[in-house]
Amino acid sequence: MTNYQYRSVFNVFCFFAIVFNQASAQKVLLSANGPDNTYEEINNALAPGRDVVEVPDCVHTEFGRHIEEVFDDQLGKYVFNFLVHKTPDNDRCQNFDRQRVEIKTYGGSPDNLKAIQGETVYYSWKFKLPINFKVSKNFTHLHQIKSVGGIYASAPMVTLTARKATPDQMELRYTATNTQSTLKTALLDLFRGEWVKVTEVIKYENLGEYYLKISRISDGLVLLKYNITTIDMWQDGSSFARPKWGIYRSIKSLSNLRDEQVRFADFIIQELAPLSAIDYKAMSINNKLKLNKSKGVVSIKEIPKNSYEEIELIDGKGKRIAQNRLVRKQKITVSGLTEGDYYVSFLVEKQPVNVYTFTIKN
């Protein structure tokens, strides 16, 4: 192992020791473990003693439960299988122009599963669409982030939805109020018949941040990615925000649809604690970058471009410095910075995997 590789492994270890140990009490992992007690397992993870499963069982009693646990050969483990039928399923016997088979967190969930203003939350899960998956012309939602409370509570802030088009699309939709826009799209054929992993990181604030990456598990290919550091991610008047997963589709055009199923696995919800200057210092032990004082730049050419997604510059007090100072041609412009220690944090999925340091002396 080279000296550089050793330092990289050490920094990854420091990251897990500092960040994940701090947040371990808030981390929830919901995984299928066998064919029985599926609703009970979901409820126990997302809202112990409550009911977070939204299904059309009441109108389709002869079928039974619409979420089951099945063994998946590709993953080599049990997974959740969400089922919805073209007829007679509807939306919990309440709405008859749509169908819903979803799970969620909600008011009865533990506080660490409900995002409040100012928090940063990491979500992760896997899903697989059938090879011949059919979608509505109106909407076929697979994931939503919704607010509870406030005048915009009915409009999801974030929606991952499949839509019938030419060709069919996977869409990332967003709204801060009640007007939705499409942030990013990808061909739905890239998802059909493939297990994918989703990572979503949200800073819940009026001047918040949003990150989404969906990668194919078989080869790691990124199918859809979106990252923005200045976006309104808090609907005013809300008490908290929460995630939903499943199948939620319009049935206004039944001819486009069929009995459908989507497999899900390995749900994670984790509040991320902010790092302090002490944390950055611990993670940057023996990792030094050289300052070219005459040119006012720090070179990061020794860091492989494919080893990180983003870079953050942190001052000696642990405060992030404006992004416009950052990288051009693998150099960080530092002219104008005051004397002191600084940390360069290399991020993957919004989390530091390597931290380096440099010092400015007058």
| Structure confidence at residue 210 (pLDDT) | 98
At 20-49, the pLDDT tens digits run 434 443 355 899 999 999 999 999 999 999
Shared domain for 65 and 41, answered yes or no, is yes
User: What gap in Å lies between CA 149 and CA 223, rounded to an integer?
Assistant: 33
Which CATH number covers residue 75? 2.60.120.200
Shared domain for 90 and 135, answered yes or no, is yes
State the residue range of the domain holding 286.
3-10+275-360
Choose one of 213, 246, 271: the last residue of a domain. 271
Which CATH number covers residue 314? 2.60.40
Instruction: Judge whether 335 lies within some domain.
Output: yes
Q: Which residues of the chain carry a pLDDT beneath 70?
A: 1-28
Q: What is the pTM of this model?
A: 0.89
Number of structural domains in the chain: 2
Shared domain for 227 and 266, answered yes or no, is yes
Shared domain for 329 and 204, answered yes or no, is no
| Structure confidence at residue 28 (pLDDT) | 58
Shared domain for 164 and 281, answered yes or no, is no
What is the separation of C-alpha 58 from the centre of its chain, rounded to a whole number of angstroms? 32
Choose one of 220, 249, 271: the last residue of a domain. 271
Q: How many CB atoms lie within 10 A of CB 358?
A: 20
Shared domain for 117 and 163, answered yes or no, is yes
Shared domain for 166 and 95, answered yes or no, is yes
User: What gap in Å lies between CA 346 and CA 354, rounded to an integer?
Assistant: 5
Choose one of 228, 255, 271: the last residue of a domain. 271
Contact (Cβ atoms closer than 8 angstroms) between residue 60 and residue 88: yes
| Structure confidence at residue 24 (pLDDT) | 40
| Structure confidence at residue 27 (pLDDT) | 59
User: What gap in Å lies between CA 153 and CA 150, rounded to an integer?
Assistant: 6
Q: Which residue has the tokens 């939705």?
A: 180
